[in-house]
Amino acid sequence: MADDLVTTARPHQEEWPAGLDVQDLLAQGWRPTPFLQFILKVHSRCNLACDYCYMYEMADQGWRRQPRRMARPIVDKVAERIAEHARAHGRSRVDVILHGGEPLLAGADHLRYVAAALHKTCDPDVHVSLRLQTNGVLIDDAFLDLFEEEGIRVGVSVDGAEADHDRHRRRANGRGTHAEVRAGLERLNGRRLLSGLLATIDLESDPVTTYEALLEFDPPGVDLLLPHGTWDAPPPGLTGEGTPYGDWLVAVFDRWYGAPVRETDIRLFTEIIRLVLGSHSRTETIGLSPAAMAVVETDGSIEQVDTLKAVAEGAAATPFHTLTHSFAEALYSPGIVARQIGLRALSGTCTACPLVRVCGGGLYTHRYRSGTGFRNPSVYCADLARLITHVHRTVAADVARVREEAI
Q: pLDDT tens digits, residue range 196-230?
A: 999 999 999 999 999 999 999 999 999 999 999 99
Q: Does residue 4 have a pLDDT over 50?
A: no
pLDDT at 13: 60
Whether omega before 124 lies within 30 degrees of 0, making that bond cis, reads yes
Mean pLDDT of 242-252: 98
Pick the closest to residue 277 from 351, 362, 388 (CA basis): 388
pLDDT of residue 6: 28
- Taking Cα atoms as reference points, which of 311, 308, 285 lies closest to residue 297? 308
**What tens digit of pLDDT does each residue of 45-57 get?**
999 999 999 999 9
pLDDT of amino acid 403: 83
Give the pLDDT confidence of 131-146 residue by residue, as tens digits: 999 999 999 999 999 9
Confidence bin at 404 (pLDDT 50/70/90): confident
Strands (E), 201-348: 221-225, 265-266, 293-296, 301-303, 317-321
What are the sequence ranges of the domains in the chain?
Answer: 32-399
- Under a CB-based contact definition with an 8 Å cutoff, are residues 12 and 311 in contact? yes
* Residue closest to 386 by CA, chosen among 232, 222, 272: 272
CA distance 40 to 114: 10
pLDDT in tens, 44-91: 999 999 999 999 999 899 999 999 999 999 999 999 999 999 999 999
Question: Does pLDDT of 354 surpass 90?
Answer: yes
R_g over Cα of the chain: 21
319, pLDDT greater than 50 = yes
Instruction: Share the mean pLDDT of the chain.
Output: 95
First and final C-alpha spacing in the chain: 50
The CATH class that applies to domain 32-399 reads alpha beta
